[in-house]
Amino acid sequence: MRLTSQTPLPASVQAPGYDRDRQAAGIVHIGIGAFHRAHQAVYTDDAMGAGDRNWGIVGVSLRSGDVAAQLNPQDGLYTVSTRRAAGSELRLIGAVQKVLVAGEDPRAVIDAIAAPTTHIVSLTVTEKGYLRRPDGSLDLAAAVGTSSLYRLVTAGLAARKAAGLRGVTLLSCDNLAGNGAVLRRLMRDYLAAYQSDLSAWFDGECTCPATMIDRIVPATTDADRAAVEAVLGARDEGAVVTEGFSQWVIEDDFAGPRPRWEQVGAELVADVAPYETAKLRMLNGAHSALAYIGLGRGHEFVHQAIADSDICPVIDRLMRDEAAPTIDAAPGQDLAAYADALLGRFANPALHHRLIQIAMDGSQKIPQRWLETLAWHQARGQRCPSLELAIAAWVAFLRSDHPIDDPLADKLREAAAGADVMERLFGDGGLIASDWRPT
């Protein structure tokens, strides 16, 4: 029996605190994977539970129909299991109304973006989903594909303009430095190339705020689904698992209405950059290092790797001595306390965060997570022993039998096979663009 809106919930499971049938969809979210369902959708669910109306989410998968197959038979419902060392909590999320698959029905996606009730188009498409070339520019040839977010968003915006509607807020929630500015620049590139008559309207009507998101969301396992089923008495194919910690920092620059996310834990700020930089260089940088070093030492999960007495000091030094000095902290932003909190989160044994999951898309993540820190220190005549060890571990990973889930997988394996691997990866004209040069 599948979970649906008719499934009776045990008293131990928190239900949505609003009438789902009376909520219009105000958000179209592109890239509705597990992270969005454990993060932004939870904040939105909480906001509607606190009295905000008409912020239901229409989810969009660009290609795969997996999430649609999980959620649509369940009326968009799914559970979030929050796991702490002291125990687990289960709640039902009602914010998602349906999931569209762009590869199957692009017109439905365009219509959702063009709907008068839609005010926000948010994205979690991962770094590679932005279709950037190594120099950061938009790959215009790739961006015209049927399932391209640029093509879909542009068509939706054109329909809004033709109908006399206002623009929307385009809200990137991906781990990209300056993600809002990146999205705006790439959208402008696409419009200039393929629909220049929309450029001025886009500039005047749409905003692209920066965001910083943080929550660990491991891949859901069959055992996780079985544990949820044992509580619900129904099968939840869309179940997600996460930690207790959650952070969302948003630049307060919206084109129109928005949920009152700040009333349910989000931070609305004038400048996201200090929080974003700390997250990218300290948390994400440490995560990637844990992944490659930990896999090289035979570990499977984050909590196992950080418990390794040879690895933990490397990660501690990476965060405190290498990453933290490069960050211009905001007033009240305590980076030492942040490092303490991160070490505690990594050690959570109740959260089985797989290292191989973190290791994917290394070519897209390493520039922001490691290379900017390395370049900062190199410019001052300093070295970073922990990050240099992490680089060596990544090269060893590329040379290993582990599967490489990366848009540059073939080129990375070829580069790693050569004696001049560092030059082929990071040198002038190398695969990874950076101001840092190995010595």
Q: Does the structure show a pLDDT above 90 at 385?
A: yes
Question: What pLDDT is attached to residue 33?
Answer: 96
> Which residue, 120, 189, 124, is CA-closest to 156?
120
Q: Tell me how crowded residue 19 is: count the other CB atoms within 10 A of its CB.
A: 10
Note the residue count of the chain.
439
Query: What residues does 101 pair with on adjacent strands?
Result: 61
Question: What pLDDT is attached to residue 404?
Answer: 95
Distance CA 82, CA 217 (A): 10
- Axis-axis angle for helices 149-162, 179-194 (nearest 10): 70
User: Are the beta carbons of 61 and 31 closer than 8 angstroms?
Assistant: yes
Mean pLDDT, residues 245-263 taken together: 96
pLDDT band at 134 (very low <50, low <70, confident <90, very high): confident
Beta strand 120-123 with 56-61 is unpaired
Same domain, yes or no, for 82 and 181? yes
Q: What is the DSSP letter of 97?
A: E
Question: What pLDDT is attached to residue 135?
Answer: 86
CA neighbours closer than 13 Å in the CB half-sphere of residue 116? 3
Question: Dihedral of CA 396/399/401/407: which sign?
Answer: positive
DSSP characters over 420-432: THHHHHHSTT-SS
Question: What pLDDT is attached to residue 87?
Answer: 83
Mean pLDDT, residues 334-343 taken together: 94
pLDDT band at 255 (very low <50, low <70, confident <90, very high): very high
Residue 412, in any domain of the structure? yes
Of 269, 304, 331, which residue constitutes the final position of a domain?
269
Same domain, yes or no, for 297 and 230? no
Query: What residues does 30 pair with on adjacent strands?
Result: 60, 123
Residues 6+ apart with CB under 8 A from 161: 198, 201, 205
Domain range for 125: 20-269
CATH number of the domain that residue 84 is part of: 3.40.50.720
Condensed to tens digits (0 to 9), the pLDDT of residues 392-435 reads: 999 999 999 999 999 999 999 999 999 999 999 999 889 998 89
Q: What is the DSSP letter of 358?
A: H
Identify the weakest region by mean pLDDT among 59-63, 193-197, 276-280, 396-400.
276-280
The pLDDT mean for the chain works out to: 95
User: Are the beta carbons of 156 and 114 closer than 8 angstroms?
Assistant: yes
Condensed to tens digits (0 to 9), the pLDDT of residues 150-163 reads: 999 999 999 999 99
CATH number of the domain that residue 375 is part of: 1.10.1040.10
* Two structure tokens written together for 248: 């969302």
Identity of residue 412: L
Of 269, 291, 323, which residue constitutes the final position of a domain?
269
Q: Count of domains in the chain? A: 2
Q: Tell me how crowded residue 191 is: count the other CB atoms within 10 A of its CB.
A: 22
DSSP characters over 268-305: EES--HHHHHHIIIIIIHHHHHHHHHHHHTT--BHHHH
Q: Does the structure show a pLDDT above 90 at 209?
A: yes
Mean pLDDT, residues 213-235 taken together: 94
- Axis-axis angle for helices 385-398, 409-416 (nearest 10): 110
Question: What pLDDT is attached to residue 149?
Answer: 96
Q: Does the structure show a pLDDT above 80 at 332?
A: no
Same domain, yes or no, for 195 and 303? no
Of 235, 269, 303, which residue constitutes the final position of a domain?
269
pLDDT band at 146 (very low <50, low <70, confident <90, very high): confident
Q: Does the structure show a pLDDT above 80 at 248?
A: yes
**pLDDT > 90: what percent of the chain?**
91
pLDDT band at 86 (very low <50, low <70, confident <90, very high): confident
Residue 173, in any domain of the structure? yes
Mean pLDDT, residues 168-190 taken together: 95
Question: What pLDDT is attached to residue 414?
Answer: 95
Mean pLDDT, residues 17-41 taken together: 97
Condensed to tens digits (0 to 9), the pLDDT of residues 97-116 reads: 999 999 999 999 999 999 99
Break the chain down into helix, strand, coil percent, rounded to 5.
Answer: 45, 15, 40
Q: Does the structure show a pLDDT above 90 at 333?
A: no
Same domain, yes or no, for 183 and 165? yes
Question: What pLDDT is attached to residue 145?
Answer: 86
Mean pLDDT, residues 83-106 taken together: 94
Mean pLDDT, residues 40-57 taken together: 98
